[in-house]
Amino acid sequence: MQELVFINKNINRWKKFEALSIKDISYPPDQLAAMFIQITDDLSYCRTFFPNSDTERYLNALAAKTHYNIYKNKKESRSKFFNFWKFNFPLIIYDIRKYIFISIALFLFSALIGAFSAANDNNFVRTILGDAYVDMTMDNIDKGDPMAVYKKMMQTDMFLAITFNNIKVAFLAFVWGLLLIVGTVYIMMSNGVMLGSFQYFFYEQGIFLESVLTIWIHGTLEIFAIIISGAAGLLIGVSVLLPGTYTRLESFKQATVKGVKIMIGIVPIFIVAGFLEGFVTRYTDAPVLIRASIILGSLVFIVWYFFLYPAKLAKTIVLNKKPSVS
């Protein structure tokens, strides 16, 4: 597409967005977020095909203006608080979707490395998980209760400890993106390798299905939230390495604001995962149907809220209407 054709095709929408961002600073935050996604998509296209052009500079300024209107500090009403998870957060998730897919791929690749290493090195699991944990688990297997580790702590204590630890790991994956992505990649790979070797250990002991039905009651939400935090870390790292037409400082500021929003958005996921691990996972004698339903329900929620729903919201942008929620 020629630059003139690109401009003629989109100029009316850009002018409308420009007028809204200038004249209507109280424009609904969900619609401003939708506008921002559309503008950044246009800017990305322009950077690729018309670099260093006046069009690129115009879209850069418009994106910055829209970004300010979305994230400026102001007292939010209760409805706007809920709108964060209803509109703003899903739109941010859609905007960083490529980082989410990269984070998923990195985690899965690391898990495969962990499983492969455990299969080919008898000492690998002990190196990763520690002798004490392996010996304790082997003892539990001999006693006929391989998942007894989830029953050792009091429920509330376990809920609080696990939730805090998971948020800490996620925060590290996010903040370590400052180390030019290396820190985030390290956190993601180390957790992936640990998970892969962990699951292979149970497979080797002949209790793979039981481990899946137990661990993934809480692990489905927990692991995915860590993956999202990894995506936020990658966003931070890329903003410094590849600032585009922004200065590195401005690019970093915008990515940091978005990253903080992402971290706030996944805190409830960690709380639910911690609740499940502290209060539900311990019931290893619960019917298979119930345990499998919890895992499946978590997967359905993830697919809907983090993939289908954000995509649906993004599609409403071209109509420039407030997204409807079915």
Express each pLDDT in 14-34 by its tens digit. Answer: 887 777 655 544 555 556 666
Which has the closest alpha carbon to 74: 4, 42, 112, 26? 26
Of the chain, the percentage scoring pLDDT greater than 90 comes to 50
> Taking a C-beta distance cutoff of 8 angstroms, is the pair 284, 217 a contact?
no
Q: Quote the CA–CA distance of 103 and 223 in Å, as a whole number.
A: 11
State which amino acid sits at residue 121. D
Calpha distance 247→253 (Å, rounded): 10
The residue behind tokens 């329900």 is 297
3-state class percentages of the chain: helix first, strand second, coil last, to nearest 5:
85, 0, 15
The beta strand positions in 170-326, using DSSP E, are none
pLDDT over threshold 70, residue 74:
no
Choose the weakest-confidence range: 51-55, 90-94, 178-182, 277-281.
178-182
Crossing angle of helices 54-71/248-279, nearest 10°? 40
Rounded to whole angstroms, the Cα distance separating 177 from 175 reads 5
Q: What is the pLDDT of residue 162?
A: 87
Question: Does the pLDDT of residue 322 top 70, yes or no?
Answer: no
> Mean pLDDT throughout 87-91?
90
What the block records as the tokens of 273 is 């995962």
CA-CA distances (angstroms) from residue 46 to 10, 42, 325? 12, 6, 31
pTM value is 0.76
Q: Is the pLDDT of residue 130 over 60?
A: yes
Q: Show me where the domains of the chain are located.
A: 8-74, 97-316
From CA 167, how far away is CA 147, in angstroms rounded? Answer: 23
83 or 195, which is more confident?
A: 195
* Res 325: pLDDT: 38
Q: What's the pLDDT at 10?
A: 84
Q: What percent of the chain has pLDDT over 70?
A: 87
Tokens of 280: 């539900």
The average pLDDT across 268-281 equals: 94
Q: What pLDDT is recorded for position 12?
A: 83
Per-residue tokens: 214? 């137990």
Mean pLDDT of 104-122: 97
Report pLDDT digits (tens) over 237-271: 999 888 877 788 888 888 998 999 999 999 999 99
Q: Report pLDDT for 166.
A: 87
Does residue 297 have a pLDDT over 60?
yes
